[in-house]
Amino acid sequence: MRRLTYIYKTACSFCLGAMLYACSAPERQVPQPTKGQQAMIDRKYGMFLHFGMNTYLNVEWSDGTAPASTYAPPADMAEKAAGWVKNAKRAGMRSIVLTTKHHDGFCLWDSKYTEYDIANPTIENKVDIVKAVSDACHKEGVAFSVYYSLWDRHEPSYQKSDKRVYIQYMKNQLQELMTQYGTVHELWFDGAWDRKTEDWHLQEVYDFVKSMQPDCQISTNWTIGKRPVDMQEGDSIIYFPSDFRLWDPFLPVKDDPKIYKHSGKEYYLPFESTQTISVIGSWFNHPEDSTIRDVEELEEIFYVSTSNDNCLLLNIPPATNGEQNPKAIENVMQLARLLGIEGGKEFPKKLNRPQSITTDAKAMASSVHKNDTLHHGAAYAVDSDVSTSWTAGDSLAWITVALDREATFDKFFIIEGENSIRKFAIEVEKEDGWIPVYQSDVLPETRLNSFMGYGTIEFSLPEPLSTGRFRMSIQQSNGRPSIYSIRLK
């Protein structure tokens, strides 16, 4: 009996000790948004401006070999640049991010450290675009931010074996940007993939920028090194330090995690999603790309991007004459009126979930590439993200779409992998099985100027169709058919 009493007392002592330890152990302090991060979250919605050498070359990327004279803006370029900011404000956007230097190395300001800029002697209209945009932002009460490419395909020092030579060049230019144009709210680095992470000396560059602009939020594209669907709480920050996450042009997932680690310490990082107004994913303006996302799709993008303390940058690139696409501006103004945010009105306390025909639709497919539904599943054909796609595992395949309610429609707009689908049928289920309601011809091959590798298929049914379920059967393909988006009207 005494032995049992001893065991009982020992067990009680152990339990009491465990309870006391649990009570005295410090609670985990979950990181919260900093003042600068909260200001960014509150801004929520901004305009991305891709403009520069590539605009005049009509390409997405150039290699820095084009002569500076290729860049030929109109005489009233400063007024046109101010107009971009006015358009953003009218559309309810709170910020501007301007591509001050893209991968080609051409600078949209007069830099003392290169002649490959707007002040080059061969350029007739030497308008400082950074000044024109920043001045307009400060006048209109829109947050001014800059994109700066780490990768520089023109600057000779970039090729030197001593990587620090270019880092100094970069710091010199960043000092110009951070001291000559007033408050800079964000610094958006891109092109880090061209070197090893440690060769960018990001901590040094980060501290240098913060010494001039303490509240500037800084990040490098591909921050976590994973697509949003792969990000998990506690993942490592690859490009450290960072104040927010970037992986263009993806949308965040519904339950987007915010806590990430570096050297054992946790950090809070919101996600900034960058989307193009172009349906086929063009960042720079191209005369041959007239595709503009409709208001219904923009509403879905806004809803997904700005939920859960994240942000949206919508890219609306100016043309060679300095004008933005009038249809693009019309659509973002319609979106602003729909949301009630035109002219800078307050964001709604709670967003109503968009209700397009495909909202909350479900999809299933005959096959998925490598059976990897996480990255290639059928659901990606009917989500709001045109950066994700259903990719079939077979050359001939089908995808069935179940709407959340019966709807009537007669128009299809499909974003596919470029030329991946050559022939198809749209079918509905009847008592006798699946019956075609539309049969395509063999589609002609097209070469759209799509940086993302998109193609488009647009067609109308012979008569309106009322159904809650339909199937697209792919009857001929390039061997790996893929669909990024199915939209119905």
Alpha carbon distances (Å) from 14 to 1, 20, 21: 20, 10, 10
Beta bridge partners of 189: 148, 220
pLDDT of residue 6: 40
- For residues 217-225, average pLDDT: 98
CA distance 53 to 75: 17
Tokens of 41: 């979250």
pTM of the entire predicted model: 0.92
Q: Give, as one character, the DSSP assignment of residue 107.
A: B
The average pLDDT across 208-216 equals: 98
- Please state whether the peptide bond connecting residue 481 to the residue before it is cis, i.e. omega within 30 degrees of 0: no
**477-480: long-range contacts, CB 8 A cutoff, minimum separation 24:** 477/392, 477/395, 477/396, 477/397, 477/420, 477/421, 477/422, 478/395, 478/417, 478/419, 478/420, 478/421, 478/422, 479/395, 480/369, 480/391, 480/392, 480/395, 480/417, 480/420
CATH 2.60.120.260 is right for the domain spanning 362-488: yes
- 418-461 pLDDT tens trace: 999 999 999 999 888 899 999 999 999 887 778 788 999 999 99
Residue 20 has pLDDT above 80, yes or no: no
Q: One-letter amino acid identity for 266?
A: E
Q: Is 162 exposed, middle or buried (0-12, 13-18, 19+ CB in 10 A)?
A: exposed
Residue-wise pLDDT tens digits, 293-337: 999 999 999 999 998 999 999 999 999 999 999 999 999 999 999
Q: Is 24 exposed, middle or buried (0-12, 13-18, 19+ CB in 10 A)?
A: exposed
Give yes or no for residue 12 having a pLDDT over 60.
no
Each residue's pLDDT tens digit, 23-78: 555 677 899 999 999 999 999 999 999 999 999 999 999 999 999 999 999 999 99
- The rounded distance, in Å, linking the Cα atoms of 230 and 180 is 39
Q: How far apart, in whole angstroms, are the C-alpha atoms of residue 96 and residue 94?
A: 7
Q: How far apart are the two ends of the chain, measured CA to CA in Å?
A: 82
User: 1: pLDDT confidence band, cut at 50, 70 and 90?
Assistant: very low
Give the tens place of pLDDT for each residue, 465-482. Answer: 999 999 999 999 999 999
Residue type, position 464, single letter:
P
| Distance of alpha carbon 203 from alpha carbon 197, whole angstroms | 11
Q: How confident is the model over 449-463, as pLDDT tens digits?
A: 787 889 999 999 999
Q: Reply yes or no on whether the pLDDT at 256 is more than 60.
A: yes
Rounded to whole angstroms, how far apart are CA atoms 300 and 304? Answer: 6
DSSP 427: E
Using pLDDT thresholds of 50, 70 and 90, give the confidence band for residue 384. confident
According to DSSP, residue 121 is labeled T
Give the residue extent of every domain in the chain.
35-344, 362-488
pLDDT-derived band at 22, boundaries 50, 70, 90: very low
| Predicted local confidence at residue 15, as pLDDT | 45
362-488 and 35-344 share a CATH fold: no
The pLDDT value given to residue 315: 98
Quote the pLDDT of residue 25: 53
* Residues 305, 250: Cα–Cα separation, whole Å: 9
The pLDDT of 144-164, averaged and rounded, is: 97
Q: Are 106 and 64 in contact (CB under 8 A)?
A: yes
Q: What angle do CA 357, 308, 267 make, to 5 degrees?
A: 145
pLDDT, mean of residues 196-221: 98
Burial of 112 (0-12, 13-18, 19+ CB in 10 A): exposed
Contact 481, 400 (CB under 8 A): no
Percent of the chain with pLDDT over 90: 88
Task: Annotate 123-169 with DSSP letters as a single string.
Answer: -SS---HHHHHHHHHHHHT-EEEEEEES--SS-GGGGSSSHHHHHHH
Question: Mean pLDDT, to the nearest integer, of 231-257?
Answer: 96
Percent of the chain with pLDDT over 70: 94
Determine the length of the chain.
489
Distance (Å, whole) CA 443 – CA 97: 39
CA distance 478 to 258: 39
Average confidence score pLDDT of the chain: 93
pLDDT at 2: 40
Report the CATH fold assignment for 35-344.
Answer: TIM Barrel (3.20.20)
- Give the pair of three-digit tokens for residue 139: 């006048």
For 368-380, what is each residue's pLDDT tens digit? 999 999 999 999 9
